[in-house]
Amino acid sequence: MPGRLKQVLLGDPLHNKESAHQRLSNPVALAVFSSDALSSVAYATEEILLVLVLAGTAALELALPIAAGIGLLLLVVATSYRQTIKAYPSGGGAYIVAKENLGTYPGLVAGASLLVDYTLTVAVSISAGTSAITSAFPTLMPYRVEIAVALTVLLALANLRGVRESGALFAGPTYLFIIMLGALVITGLVKVALGMTIEVPAHGYESAAGTLTLFLLLRAFASGCTAMTGVEAIANGVQAFRQPEARNARTTLSWMAGILLFLFVGTTALAQFSGVQPSHTETVISQLARGVFGSGVLYFLLQVATAAILVIAANTSYADFPRLASFMASDGFLPKQLRERGRRLVHSNGILLLTAVAILLLIVFRGDTHRLIPLYAIGVFTSFTLSQSGMVVHWLRSRDEGWRSSIAVNGLGALTTAVVLVVIAIAKFSQGAWIVLLVVPVLVAYFAWVKRHYTKVELRLRIAKGDPDVLDPATHEDLHNHVVILVGAFDRRLVRAIQYARTLRADSMEAIYVDITGTQGEKMRRKWAEYRIEIPLTVIDSPYREIIDPILRHIRRIPRPDRDHAITVIIPEFVPEDRVDFLLHDQTAFWIKQALFVEPGVIAVDVPYHLSSDLARNTE
């Protein structure tokens, strides 16, 4: 990217020293890390109702008990994670906790689950946010994929600029959503308590359309569990908090859990007491808001806030995915490029990777939220279970103060989330959960493959202890260097190449010319004689007009004791004054270099001749 454009899009580069300042205050951290969890309130209640209504409107009575159960689960998980933060103040994501306490493979499973889930968070939230926009402006409907992709790119840019700026950018909508939805729940419930009717449309469902089976109840529960996605975000991101990180993170986690519990259970209660029914044309939240607020300014504000928080919920993943990917890259399970921090001290490559995969998901699923949601909760509950199980082992080993009660808390967490995981996997299997159950093992295998590769390379490249003489000049003083000049044309490029070759300490030197015409070789020999060049010229006939293969064959036949003895191949090139000009010259030199790169002991040396160089001026 040209420097100027980069400057405008990303801002000035940040100095390493500015790293410590890139921390978030608690209120900003709450906005950054909980938009994912909180935004799911916008659809979790509706997902429960959509399943229950299959058994008729009478079954909708079961929504509140299910929501209460999920609320209880939320309390268990949040309490468990408070323990995790205490034990892992440097950031205790499921990956780290599972790896340290349960072993490498459970850690990799947790890592894969989280990476999948973060990616889905982006796709689901952006899709749902786009739906909110296209519901408001139906003429935009045909462009929903384009809008979703554009929003993803905007998010990526905001995050490439750095986490502080994006935190400030996103705090507003999160708080607006909390206030507006809170106001809806309180006003609505007060109205219900005062015996006032909340007017909601009827959608013509029957009172008892089907049988209420246990499986249906479990599916409703599994669907409602999407409300829990994102709860782990704070525990993974402790290092983004101000000091003391652990205490700030624990406090923020408690706040988030409390707000989420209130909004989710409150919304579901209001839905049940008002008798609202799910619809395919209007969201449950929208119906409730119209019933409670009327279709005025308050309704409009809530809809805007809902759309905004859905879009920026994706931001939680932009905070967490690159961080987790960099942890895993540091451990050698992902390509090293994911470890580096870019111009603005963020893990730019992780951001770009997340963006690419999310855009792919948006395009493949045509930005359809309801097709993405069944894939969604599997990953997060896998990581919950592994993380809490890991904490149980942690307390068993450490026996820190209060380890018995900690085991009880995390053990309960592990047990409940494990049960829920099995329930979700079974209840949603055929609707898409199978994809995740397939992708996670593939990712784990990939991590293992990457690790094996890096380990092998490191072992081969490492200088063994007790080998201090490996760099002693005496050990290589008898190495030879054979210099070969590739001749393409008799011109100033060649002059420069010969000039350079003469500065080398060559044991032997020759020039080779590949003649593909059957006539040019003789001309080259005459030129060679005319200019009295002392370097011997070899002309290689190539009647099949190949260039690279004859060169390789010739080089391989050069005698040398072993492949430590270098063959330096000098390739005369010239540097056009303008980048466009490159296309006018053939790329043979490039392909020759590619071929020579993999030849043991052969070193390809480009000797560029600059059209605008001093040399050209000097010798003109």
Q: Which of 380, 514, 350 is nearest to 111 (CA)?
A: 380
Question: Closest approach of Cβ 89 to a copy of itself, in Å?
Answer: 22
Residue 86 or 343 with smaller CB distance to a copy of itself:
343
Q: Which is nearer to a copy of itself, 8 or 463 (CB)?
A: 463
| Planar angle of CA 477, 483, 486, nearest 5 degrees | 160
Helices first, then strands: H and E counts in the chain:
24, 5
C-beta closer to a copy of itself: residue 523 or 563 = 563
Q: Which is nearer to a copy of itself, 522 or 586 (CB)?
A: 586
- If you ran DSSP here, which 8-state letter would residue 226 be given? G
From the CB of 144, what's the least distance to a copy of itself, in Å?
25
Rounded Cα gap, residues 95 and 102, in angstroms: 10
User: What is the token pair recorded at 570?
Assistant: 């000098």
Torsion angles phi and psi, residue 112, rounded to 5: -60, -45
Q: What CA–CA distance (Å, rounded) separates 50 from 226?
A: 14
**Shortest distance, position 554 Cβ to a copy of itself, whole Å:** 19
d(CA 284, CA 409): 35
CA distance 556 to 17: 51
Nearest distance, CB of residue 164 and a copy of itself, angstroms = 17
What is the Cα–Cα distance from 98 to 104, expressed in whole angstroms? 8
End-to-end CA distance of the chain: 37
- The alpha carbon dihedral of 268, 272, 273, 275 has a sign of positive
Maximum distance among all alpha carbons in the chain?
A: 111
418 contact partners, CB below 8 Å, separation of at least 6: 385, 389
Q: Report how far residue 607's alpha carbon sits from residue 496's, in angstroms, rounded to the nearest whole number.
A: 7
What's the CA gap between 172 and 387, in Å, rounded? 32
Residue 70 contacts by C-beta under 8 Å, 6 or more apart in sequence? 44, 221, 224, 225, 227, 228, 264
Please, what is the minimum distance in Å from the beta carbon of residue 538 to a copy of itself? 17
For residues 147 and 498, which CB has a smaller minimum distance to a copy of itself in the complex? Answer: 498
- Contact assessment for residue 228 and residue 70, using Cβ atoms and an 8 Å cutoff: yes
Of 133 and 443, which CB lies nearer to a copy of itself in the complex structure?
A: 443
Q: Residue 411 CB, nearest distance to a copy of itself (Å)?
A: 39
Q: How far is the CB of 440 from a copy of itself (least distance, A)?
A: 21
Q: How far is the CB of 91 from a copy of itself (least distance, A)?
A: 19
Residue 2 dihedral angles phi and psi, to the nearest 5°: -60, 145
Cβ distance to a copy of itself smaller for residue 215 or 582: 582
Smallest gap from Cβ 336 to a copy of itself, in A, equals 6
Q: Which is nearer to a copy of itself, 126 or 511 (CB)?
A: 511
Nearer to a copy of itself, 183 or 495 (CB): 495
For a copy of itself, which is the closer residue by CB, 13 or 65? 13
Closest residue by Cα to residue 378 from 421, 334, 320, 426: 421
DSSP 422: H
Strand partners for 482: 508, 567
CB nearer to a copy of itself: give 8 or 464: 464
Taking the complex as a whole, how short is the minimal distance between the CB of residue 564 and a copy of itself, in angstroms? Answer: 5
Q: Which uninterrupted H or E stretch holds 317?
A: helix 297-330
Least distance to a copy of itself, CB of residue 289, Å: 46
Backbone angles phi, psi at 602, to 5 degrees: -95, 130
Residue 47 CA, chain-centre distance (Å), reads 27
> In whole angstroms, how close is the CB of 334 to a copy of itself at the nearest point?
9
